[in-house]
Amino acid sequence: MPIELRGVSYTYAPGTVYESRALDGLSLRVRDGEFVGVMGRTGCGKSTLIQLIAGLLKPSAGQILLDGEDINDKHYDRDTLRRKIGVVFQFPEIQLFETTVARDVAFGLRHFGWTVEEKNAAVREALERLGFDYEAVCDKSPLGFSGGEKRRLAIAGVLAARPEILILDEPVAGLDPLGRDAFLQLLDELNRAGTTILMISHSADALAEHAQRIVILKDGQLLRDGPTEEVFSDHAALKADGIGAGQVRETVELLRQRGVDIPADTVRYEQLLSAVCGRWPR
Protein backbone atom coordinates (compact mmCIF):
# COMPACT_ATOMS: atom_id res chain seq x y z
CA MET A 1 0.00 0.00 0.00
CA PRO A 2 2.12 2.91 -1.14
CA ILE A 3 -0.02 5.82 0.04
CA GLU A 4 -2.44 5.86 2.90
CA LEU A 5 -4.19 8.77 4.54
CA ARG A 6 -5.94 8.19 7.87
CA GLY A 7 -8.35 10.85 9.05
CA VAL A 8 -6.22 13.68 7.72
CA SER A 9 -7.25 17.25 8.41
CA TYR A 10 -5.49 20.46 7.56
CA THR A 11 -6.28 23.97 8.70
CA TYR A 12 -4.68 27.04 7.13
CA ALA A 13 -3.56 29.90 9.38
CA PRO A 14 -5.08 28.48 12.57
CA GLY A 15 -5.93 31.01 15.24
CA THR A 16 -5.93 33.99 12.92
CA VAL A 17 -8.69 35.79 11.11
CA TYR A 18 -7.78 33.88 7.93
CA GLU A 19 -8.28 30.43 9.40
CA SER A 20 -9.85 27.93 7.02
CA ARG A 21 -10.27 24.17 7.07
CA ALA A 22 -8.85 22.83 3.80
CA LEU A 23 -9.15 19.11 4.56
CA ASP A 24 -11.49 17.46 7.02
CA GLY A 25 -10.92 13.94 8.25
CA LEU A 26 -9.97 12.51 4.88
CA SER A 27 -9.04 8.87 4.53
CA LEU A 28 -7.71 7.46 1.30
CA ARG A 29 -5.64 4.55 0.06
CA VAL A 30 -3.76 4.46 -3.19
CA ARG A 31 -2.49 1.09 -4.41
CA ASP A 32 0.63 0.26 -6.35
CA GLY A 33 0.45 1.10 -10.03
CA GLU A 34 -2.90 2.85 -9.87
CA PHE A 35 -3.71 5.87 -12.01
CA VAL A 36 -6.00 8.00 -9.91
CA GLY A 37 -7.73 11.13 -11.15
CA VAL A 38 -8.46 13.78 -8.53
CA MET A 39 -11.32 16.14 -9.29
CA GLY A 40 -13.21 18.86 -7.50
CA ARG A 41 -14.09 22.50 -7.75
CA THR A 42 -11.54 25.16 -6.95
CA GLY A 43 -11.06 25.35 -3.21
CA CYS A 44 -12.09 21.75 -2.50
CA GLY A 45 -8.72 20.85 -1.06
CA LYS A 46 -7.05 19.05 -3.98
CA SER A 47 -3.85 21.12 -3.89
CA THR A 48 -3.65 20.77 -0.12
CA LEU A 49 -4.05 17.02 -0.49
CA ILE A 50 -1.10 16.60 -2.81
CA GLN A 51 1.09 18.92 -0.76
CA LEU A 52 0.35 16.81 2.30
CA ILE A 53 1.14 13.55 0.51
CA ALA A 54 4.38 15.07 -0.78
CA GLY A 55 5.33 16.00 2.77
CA LEU A 56 5.32 19.73 2.07
CA LEU A 57 2.69 20.38 4.71
CA LYS A 58 2.12 18.74 8.08
CA PRO A 59 -1.42 17.61 8.79
CA SER A 60 -3.27 19.26 11.66
CA ALA A 61 -4.72 15.84 12.47
CA GLY A 62 -4.38 12.32 11.17
CA GLN A 63 -1.53 10.39 9.60
CA ILE A 64 -0.01 10.03 6.20
CA LEU A 65 1.73 6.75 5.51
CA LEU A 66 4.09 5.90 2.71
CA ASP A 67 4.74 2.17 2.40
CA GLY A 68 3.49 1.76 5.94
CA GLU A 69 5.63 4.47 7.54
CA ASP A 70 4.36 7.76 8.92
CA ILE A 71 6.09 10.44 6.86
CA ASN A 72 5.72 13.04 9.59
CA ASP A 73 7.36 10.95 12.24
CA LYS A 74 10.53 12.64 13.38
CA HIS A 75 12.62 9.58 12.63
CA TYR A 76 11.34 9.26 9.08
CA ASP A 77 14.00 9.79 6.44
CA ARG A 78 12.84 12.67 4.26
CA ASP A 79 15.19 11.66 1.49
CA THR A 80 13.17 8.48 1.01
CA LEU A 81 10.12 10.61 0.49
CA ARG A 82 11.86 12.76 -2.10
CA ARG A 83 13.09 9.69 -3.94
CA LYS A 84 9.81 7.83 -3.99
CA ILE A 85 7.49 10.71 -4.80
CA GLY A 86 7.87 13.12 -7.70
CA VAL A 87 5.64 16.18 -7.80
CA VAL A 88 4.76 18.24 -10.87
CA PHE A 89 3.01 21.41 -9.74
CA GLN A 90 0.96 23.71 -11.93
CA PHE A 91 3.16 25.64 -14.32
CA PRO A 92 6.25 23.71 -13.22
CA GLU A 93 8.46 25.73 -15.55
CA ILE A 94 8.94 28.27 -12.77
CA GLN A 95 11.27 25.90 -10.97
CA LEU A 96 13.97 26.09 -13.69
CA PHE A 97 17.01 27.97 -12.46
CA GLU A 98 20.28 26.28 -13.31
CA THR A 99 22.84 27.41 -15.87
CA THR A 100 22.44 24.34 -18.07
CA VAL A 101 19.64 21.91 -18.81
CA ALA A 102 21.73 18.96 -17.60
CA ARG A 103 22.36 20.61 -14.24
CA ASP A 104 18.75 21.59 -13.72
CA VAL A 105 17.40 18.15 -14.55
CA ALA A 106 20.00 16.64 -12.23
CA PHE A 107 19.09 18.97 -9.36
CA GLY A 108 16.74 16.50 -7.73
CA LEU A 109 19.37 13.75 -7.74
CA ARG A 110 21.97 15.32 -5.48
CA HIS A 111 21.07 13.63 -2.21
CA PHE A 112 20.52 10.12 -3.51
CA GLY A 113 24.13 9.01 -3.31
CA TRP A 114 24.26 8.05 -6.99
CA THR A 115 27.49 8.02 -8.96
CA VAL A 116 28.13 10.57 -11.67
CA GLU A 117 27.50 7.96 -14.37
CA GLU A 118 24.20 6.96 -12.79
CA LYS A 119 23.11 10.59 -12.60
CA ASN A 120 24.06 11.34 -16.21
CA ALA A 121 22.23 8.25 -17.41
CA ALA A 122 19.11 9.24 -15.49
CA VAL A 123 19.23 12.79 -16.88
CA ARG A 124 19.66 11.54 -20.41
CA GLU A 125 16.82 9.06 -20.03
CA ALA A 126 14.47 11.66 -18.62
CA LEU A 127 15.22 14.22 -21.33
CA GLU A 128 14.79 11.67 -24.10
CA ARG A 129 11.54 10.54 -22.60
CA LEU A 130 10.26 14.08 -22.88
CA GLY A 131 11.25 14.22 -26.53
CA PHE A 132 14.58 16.07 -26.31
CA ASP A 133 17.83 15.27 -28.06
CA TYR A 134 20.19 15.04 -25.10
CA GLU A 135 23.32 16.15 -26.96
CA ALA A 136 21.54 19.15 -28.45
CA VAL A 137 20.12 20.53 -25.21
CA CYS A 138 22.27 19.41 -22.31
CA ASP A 139 24.54 22.44 -22.25
CA LYS A 140 21.98 25.08 -23.16
CA SER A 141 20.40 27.40 -20.65
CA PRO A 142 16.94 26.12 -19.72
CA LEU A 143 15.64 29.67 -19.87
CA GLY A 144 16.07 30.07 -23.62
CA PHE A 145 13.36 27.56 -24.54
CA SER A 146 9.74 28.14 -25.41
CA GLY A 147 7.03 27.84 -22.76
CA GLY A 148 6.00 24.34 -23.76
CA GLU A 149 9.61 23.18 -23.94
CA LYS A 150 10.34 24.65 -20.52
CA ARG A 151 7.47 22.69 -19.11
CA ARG A 152 8.88 19.49 -20.55
CA LEU A 153 12.30 20.33 -19.07
CA ALA A 154 10.79 20.87 -15.65
CA ILE A 155 8.95 17.56 -15.87
CA ALA A 156 12.15 15.84 -16.98
CA GLY A 157 13.70 17.19 -13.81
CA VAL A 158 11.03 15.42 -11.79
CA LEU A 159 11.19 12.15 -13.76
CA ALA A 160 14.98 11.92 -13.56
CA ALA A 161 14.70 10.65 -10.00
CA ARG A 162 12.61 7.73 -11.31
CA PRO A 163 9.91 8.21 -8.70
CA GLU A 164 7.65 5.27 -7.88
CA ILE A 165 4.80 7.67 -7.36
CA LEU A 166 4.10 10.67 -9.55
CA ILE A 167 1.76 13.40 -8.36
CA LEU A 168 0.64 16.03 -10.85
CA ASP A 169 -1.43 19.18 -10.46
CA GLU A 170 -3.10 19.98 -13.79
CA PRO A 171 0.08 19.28 -15.73
CA VAL A 172 -1.40 20.17 -19.11
CA ALA A 173 -2.91 23.53 -18.18
CA GLY A 174 -1.99 26.05 -20.84
CA LEU A 175 -0.54 23.48 -23.26
CA ASP A 176 -1.93 23.30 -26.77
CA PRO A 177 -3.80 20.15 -27.87
CA LEU A 178 -0.79 18.37 -29.36
CA GLY A 179 1.26 19.08 -26.27
CA ARG A 180 -1.55 17.81 -24.09
CA ASP A 181 -1.95 14.57 -26.01
CA ALA A 182 1.78 13.89 -26.06
CA PHE A 183 2.06 14.37 -22.34
CA LEU A 184 -0.92 12.20 -21.46
CA GLN A 185 0.54 9.47 -23.63
CA LEU A 186 3.77 9.70 -21.67
CA LEU A 187 1.83 9.31 -18.43
CA ASP A 188 0.23 6.19 -19.86
CA GLU A 189 3.62 4.73 -20.64
CA LEU A 190 4.90 5.49 -17.17
CA ASN A 191 1.82 3.96 -15.60
CA ARG A 192 2.14 0.81 -17.68
CA ALA A 193 5.75 0.57 -16.54
CA GLY A 194 4.55 0.56 -12.95
CA THR A 195 4.52 4.18 -11.77
CA THR A 196 1.62 5.05 -9.49
CA ILE A 197 0.00 8.23 -10.72
CA LEU A 198 -2.17 10.76 -8.91
CA MET A 199 -3.36 13.51 -11.19
CA ILE A 200 -5.49 16.54 -10.49
CA SER A 201 -7.48 17.53 -13.53
CA HIS A 202 -10.66 19.26 -14.59
CA SER A 203 -10.89 17.27 -17.79
CA ALA A 204 -13.21 14.32 -17.40
CA ASP A 205 -12.44 13.25 -20.96
CA ALA A 206 -8.71 13.03 -20.27
CA LEU A 207 -9.24 11.16 -17.01
CA ALA A 208 -11.75 8.80 -18.61
CA GLU A 209 -9.12 7.78 -21.15
CA HIS A 210 -6.25 7.34 -18.72
CA ALA A 211 -7.32 6.96 -15.09
CA GLN A 212 -8.74 3.75 -13.63
CA ARG A 213 -10.03 5.40 -10.52
CA ILE A 214 -11.57 8.78 -9.74
CA VAL A 215 -11.60 10.60 -6.43
CA ILE A 216 -13.79 13.67 -6.05
CA LEU A 217 -13.27 16.14 -3.24
CA LYS A 218 -15.68 18.71 -1.92
CA ASP A 219 -15.08 21.16 0.91
CA GLY A 220 -12.13 19.17 2.15
CA GLN A 221 -13.94 15.86 2.23
CA LEU A 222 -14.04 12.81 0.04
CA LEU A 223 -17.23 12.98 -1.97
CA ARG A 224 -16.78 10.10 -4.34
CA ASP A 225 -14.17 7.40 -4.76
CA GLY A 226 -14.42 4.57 -7.21
CA PRO A 227 -13.61 3.15 -10.64
CA THR A 228 -13.82 5.71 -13.43
CA GLU A 229 -16.85 4.22 -15.17
CA GLU A 230 -18.77 4.03 -11.94
CA VAL A 231 -18.04 7.59 -10.80
CA PHE A 232 -18.77 9.11 -14.19
CA SER A 233 -21.92 7.12 -14.75
CA ASP A 234 -23.84 9.22 -12.21
CA HIS A 235 -24.25 12.30 -14.37
CA ALA A 236 -26.74 14.03 -12.10
CA ALA A 237 -24.35 13.79 -9.17
CA LEU A 238 -21.46 15.22 -11.20
CA LYS A 239 -23.59 18.14 -12.27
CA ALA A 240 -24.81 18.78 -8.75
CA ASP A 241 -21.23 18.90 -7.54
CA GLY A 242 -20.22 21.30 -10.31
CA ILE A 243 -17.96 18.78 -12.06
CA GLY A 244 -17.88 18.89 -15.85
CA ALA A 245 -18.63 15.45 -17.25
CA GLY A 246 -16.66 15.85 -20.45
CA GLN A 247 -17.75 15.66 -24.07
CA VAL A 248 -18.15 11.89 -24.23
CA ARG A 249 -20.27 11.58 -21.11
CA GLU A 250 -22.36 14.64 -22.06
CA THR A 251 -23.12 13.10 -25.42
CA VAL A 252 -24.12 9.85 -23.76
CA GLU A 253 -26.36 11.70 -21.33
CA LEU A 254 -28.09 13.62 -24.10
CA LEU A 255 -28.65 10.37 -26.01
CA ARG A 256 -30.10 8.72 -22.91
CA GLN A 257 -32.44 11.66 -22.42
CA ARG A 258 -33.73 11.08 -25.93
CA GLY A 259 -34.48 7.51 -24.98
CA VAL A 260 -31.51 5.90 -26.69
CA ASP A 261 -30.51 2.73 -24.88
CA ILE A 262 -26.87 3.37 -24.17
CA PRO A 263 -25.31 2.43 -20.82
CA ALA A 264 -24.50 5.28 -18.43
CA ASP A 265 -20.99 4.00 -17.82
CA THR A 266 -19.92 4.73 -21.40
CA VAL A 267 -17.16 7.19 -20.62
CA ARG A 268 -14.42 6.69 -23.18
CA TYR A 269 -14.48 7.73 -26.82
CA GLU A 270 -13.99 4.22 -28.22
CA GLN A 271 -16.85 2.96 -26.06
CA LEU A 272 -19.08 5.73 -27.40
CA LEU A 273 -18.14 4.92 -30.98
CA SER A 274 -18.91 1.22 -30.60
CA ALA A 275 -22.15 1.94 -28.79
CA VAL A 276 -23.29 4.32 -31.51
CA CYS A 277 -22.28 1.90 -34.25
CA GLY A 278 -24.22 -0.78 -32.44
CA ARG A 279 -27.39 1.31 -32.20
CA TRP A 280 -27.17 2.73 -35.74
CA PRO A 281 -26.44 -0.02 -38.19
CA ARG A 282 -25.36 0.82 -41.73
Q: Which residues bind another protein (CB under 8 A)?
A: 12-13, 18, 20, 41-43, 47, 51, 54, 56, 79, 82, 85-87, 89, 92, 94-97, 107-111, 143, 146-148, 157-158, 161, 173-181, 202, 205, 242, 244, 247-248, 250-251, 254-255, 258, 260, 269, 272-273, 276-277, 280-282
* Sign of the CA dihedral with 93 first, then 99, 100, and 102 last: negative
Q: What is the smallest separation between the CB atom of 242 and another protein, expressed in angstroms? A: 7
Q: What is the smallest separation between the CB atom of 164 and another protein, expressed in angstroms? A: 15
Q: Which is nearer to another protein, 115 or 257 (CB)?
A: 257
Q: Which is nearer to another protein, 18 or 194 (CB)?
A: 18
Q: Which is nearer to another protein, 27 or 253 (CB)?
A: 253
Q: What is the smallest separation between the CB atom of 224 and another protein, expressed in angstroms? A: 17
Residues 8, 64 contacting (CB under 8 angstroms): yes
Q: What is the smallest separation between the CB atom of 124 and another protein, expressed in angstroms? A: 18
| Counts of helices then strands in the chain (DSSP H, E) | 12, 10
Buried/exposed code over 171-207 (b: 16+ C-beta within 10 A; e: otherwise): bbeebeeebbeebbebbeebbeeebbbbbbbebbbbb
d(CA 53, CA 271): 34
Q: What is the smallest separation between the CB atom of 195 and another protein, expressed in angstroms? A: 16
Q: Which is nearer to another protein, 191 or 203 (CB)?
A: 203
CA neighbours within 13 Å on the CB side: how many for 76?
A: 17
- Phi-psi group of 80: left, alpha or beta (phi > 0 → left; psi -120 to 50 → alpha; rest → beta): alpha
Q: Which is nearer to another protein, 27 or 88 (CB)?
A: 88
